[in-house]
Structure 1
């Protein structure tokens, strides 16, 4: 009777071993093809440092344009106005004739003075000849010499009156007003024209006590004026200031000077916005201080403090000195400046040179 076949229980057959090895190699190849996923940069909220002391500060005040010099011009001799040579608003140069008087009377006076002088000089010449010949005594000549001197003074005075019959500009400027017209008779010193010196302008500012105490009232003052009614900005320099407050207010008058622009008629009375630079306060070379959110300050294990700076898409650690805490803000100092961007949230999860995506808080 035939015996049933038995399955061997010994080592695996050659075919089964080969199949197992192929499976392992396949799985290993699949594992080698897998690469780890790239981790995106961490989003970090940043804010600029806010400097709170030792920095220059801009102070703003209203100002008013004024002319450097406004002068009322007058003839130094009386007479009838013959001609007005300029109109209101006209620019004039120093020495330019502005108005003329009828000088007929002054020319007659000059002719009379010259004729008298010629007569006296001739008499003096004859008497000096007689004096040299011993015919006349010196006492007879001396009064005539005095008369000649007086006649010369009269002639020079007549020439001066003729010169003064023409009114000339004492400086470059603009005719603000004509106060007389031709054929009017004016007295000596009576105003004829009003002339403004527009080579420079002046801007006046009323400084309150606090500003007068802190800004440098000298040539180091940095100032700038902006015309209210036009897009015009002018650099201004210090000229003078009052040391007494204005009546009825605790303000002090500051006068600044600038050059008028070529493209604008900058006239007295126009309003300007004036910016003054208050320099940084000197406090024994103390480092500048900054205010930042308290969440931006990190504490090291040794008790020191630091913060994270956002620099070119990465974070960098910067040590600092914690000065004081004000509610939810900290006042710090160190090697910092107000151009730096500081990570203000999540700093405890960052590491040196870690990539970040910096975003401003809305």
Structure 2
């Protein structure tokens, strides 16, 4: 058979085409392993302490007369309400009124002599020294009149604030002196409660990282407690027992008669997300690894390009890093981590055996405990 040039060209053309159009190999796309992480938050630690306490009035005063005398009137009984300025008790005013009349007469005489002398000293009918004596007598009489008026006012005892008569110490017809207590007036619209806190606890209560809640409970009111407000805390310790006095306030409780002197228990609840050396965390025990260098976890950190990559913007791309940690006790919350982590770290919780530092992974950073 004779092969023509046309047939030869047709037979060789596929070989020639294959030799002239070789394609370059395509690199396989990088496959990112999806991982699960846990975003850590500081662990909140709670503590409750109780302190014995006694209820007291927000304001309390022992009222006394400022002059001596015989009690003529006692206008309120124990437990009764009084308003500021109301008369609580009166002394017999007979002697005080007599003294006032005498002082008034002496004042009128001295004033008259002073006015007459004032007219005579100018023309020289009396000497300047005589006029000065009249002036001094007038001033003395005026002061004496003011004093006797004040003494008369002091025979009336007024309430210094709104409150209740807690105690009555005297009755009518009793003789009293300025030091004699007449009544105890208390304002119990707001109650105060004091406790003594040891030095070791006082140091902890001053930590800014702690949140405190204060309550009070009473034996006679079962299964109930009432919120307190911190009023003040002493900054110097009691010399005898080395404790600090802390005072709380509470409003009146409707439906209950809580009076000064009643025993109580103050409950202080603290919540803290930090210890002395920093924040603490809890992670699953299975996420903690250990080798010759110690215990560690893997954390996933976001890559900057993952924010703009449309193919990975949903799940994100991150890189694995190793973190050396210090661990504590294991409890229901997980294994305590006292150092090596910070708030917001994303700890790898699965596939740790296949992980290694600087390895890129696909992840969802939204998972929280």
TM-score class normalised by the smaller sequence: 0.5 to 0.7
Contact 2:117–2:131 at 8 Å: present in 1 too?
yes
Residues 283-312 of structure 1, C-alpha deviations (whole Å, 9 max, x = no match): 67x5531165x357689xxx9558xxxxxx
Pairwise CA distance, 1:63: 3.5
In the alignment, what sits opposite 1:239? Answer: 232
Q: Which of residues 113, 119, 123 is equivalent to 1:133? A: 123
Select 1:253's aligned residue among 238, 241, 244.
244
User: CA contact under 8 A between 1:88 and 1:176: conserved in structure 2?
Assistant: yes
Give the whole-Å Cα distance in 2 for the aligned partners of 1:203 and 1:319.
54
Structure 1 residues without counterparts, runs of 5 or longer: 1-48, 307-317, 338-342, 354-362
- Please provide the CA RMSD for this pair: 4.2
CA contact (8 A) 2:61 2:185 kept: yes
What residue number does 1:205 align with?
195
**1:18 equivalent in structure 2:** none
Cα distance, 1:265 vs. partner?
3.3
Q: Given that residues 50 and 291 in structure 1 are in contact (C-alpha distance below 8 angstroms), is that contact kept between their aligned partners in structure 2?
A: no
Gaps of 5+ in 2: 1-39, 291-295, 300-319, 354-361, 364-369
Q: Are the aligned partners of 2:165 and 2:184 in contact in 1 as well (CA < 8 Å)?
A: yes
3-state SS of the aligned residue for 2:76? Answer: coil
* 1:86 corresponds to which of 72, 76, 90: 76
Instruction: Tell me: CA distance 1:161–1:262, structure 2 relative to 1, closer, same or farther (3 Å).
Output: farther
CA change 1:278–1:326 in 2 (3 A) is closer
Alpha-carbon contact 1:227-1:273 (below 8 Å) kept: yes
Identify which of 216, 228, 244 aligns with 1:226.
216
The equivalences for 1:1-362 within 5 A come to: 55=44, 57-64=46-53, 65-216=55-206, 222-228=212-218, 229-230=220-221, 231-241=224-234, 243-245=236-238, 247=240, 249=241, 252-263=243-254, 264-270=256-262, 271-277=264-270, 279-281=272-274, 286-290=278-282, 292=284, 294-295=285-286, 305=298, 323-324=325-326, 330-332=335-337
Q: TM-score, normalised by structure 2?
A: 0.63
Rounded Cα–Cα distance in structure 2 between residues aligned with 1:191 and 1:273? 32
CA–CA distance in structure 1, aligned partners of residues 247 and 177 of structure 2: 37
Matched residue pairs, number? 284
- Superposed CA offset, 1:319-346 (max 9, x none): 9967355686633476889xxxxx99xx
CA deviations over 1:63-120 (Å, ceiling 9, x no partner): 4222344322110001111111111122323222111111111111111111111112
